[in-house]
Amino acid sequence: MGKGSKGARTKQLILEKAFVLFSNGAYNNVSLRKIEEVTGLSRGALLFHFPAKEQMFSSVVDKYVLQNLSASRNVDDKEKITLKKFINSYTRQLSDLKKELFELGITNMSFALVNLNLQAFHFYPNFADKAKAWNKTETMIWHAVISNAAESGEINKNNNVTILASMFKNLFHGTGYEGINTTNDIDINLLEQEYLLLYNSLLR
C-alpha cells in the first residue's frame, strides 16, 4: 500500500478492496458490510473516508480508470518528449498497472476495467460527461506529442495529426477490449509492437 499517513493508508486500503469487489462483480451486489469484511474496518471508518457507497465507487473509478489509464500519468512535459519515448513510457505504465492489479488479485485487467467503466455510466453521477472530457483530453495529449514529433523531424510531416492522435489513443482500447476474451488478459508486449509498427510507418 505504500507509505503515508495512517488516514491516507486507510483510504488507499478501502479503494483497493472496493476496486476488487466492484470490478469483479456488480455495483448492487457490493454492500458496505462486505467492504467492512474485506478491509477489517468498522462502518464508521468507512463512512469517515467515504460518506456513501456511491462516493466510494466514484473514487475507485477516478483512480483506476481515469487516472491510471491516462497517457500523461508518467510524463511531465508531453510537448518535449519524443513520440517513441512516449510510447515506451505509456506501455511501461500499463505493464506496471497490470502487475499492480495482479497483486490485488485481479487476473484479467481488461475485464476488470471494462466492467468498472460500464457500471460507471449507471452509478457514477454525470460520468458520461466526464468520460467524454477524459477522451478529449487523452486525444489532445497524443495530438501534442505527435505534433511535436512532426515539427522536430522525428516523423514525416505529411501526415494527418488529428487522425493519428485518434489512432494511437484507440489502439490500447481495442487491444484491451480483446483481452477480455483471453485467459492471458491484454498482451502489453503485443500492444507495444502494434504502437511501434504504427510509429515506424511514420518515419521518413
The three grid cell numbers given for residue 174, joined into one nine-digit string = 481495442
Burial class (CB in 10 A: 0-12, 13-18, 19+), 89: middle
Q: What is the pLDDT of residue 78?
A: 61
Are 149 and 98 a contacting pair, CB within 8 Å? no
CATH number of 1-59: 1.10.10.60
pLDDT at 65 over 60: yes
Burial class (CB in 10 A: 0-12, 13-18, 19+), 197: exposed
Q: Which amino acid is at 110?
A: S
What does DSSP assign to residue 62?
A: I
Q: Which of 195, 176, 197, 198 is nearest to 187 (CA)?
A: 176
List the chain domain ranges: 1-59, 68-200
In this predicted model, what pLDDT tens digit does every residue of 134-165 receive, in sequence order? Answer: 999 999 999 999 999 999 999 999 999 999 99
The three grid cell numbers given for residue 54, joined into one nine-digit string = 456511491
Are 195 and 168 a contacting pair, CB within 8 Å? yes
In this predicted model, what pLDDT tens digit does every residue of 157-204 receive, in sequence order? Answer: 999 999 999 999 999 988 888 878 776 788 999 999 999 999 999 996
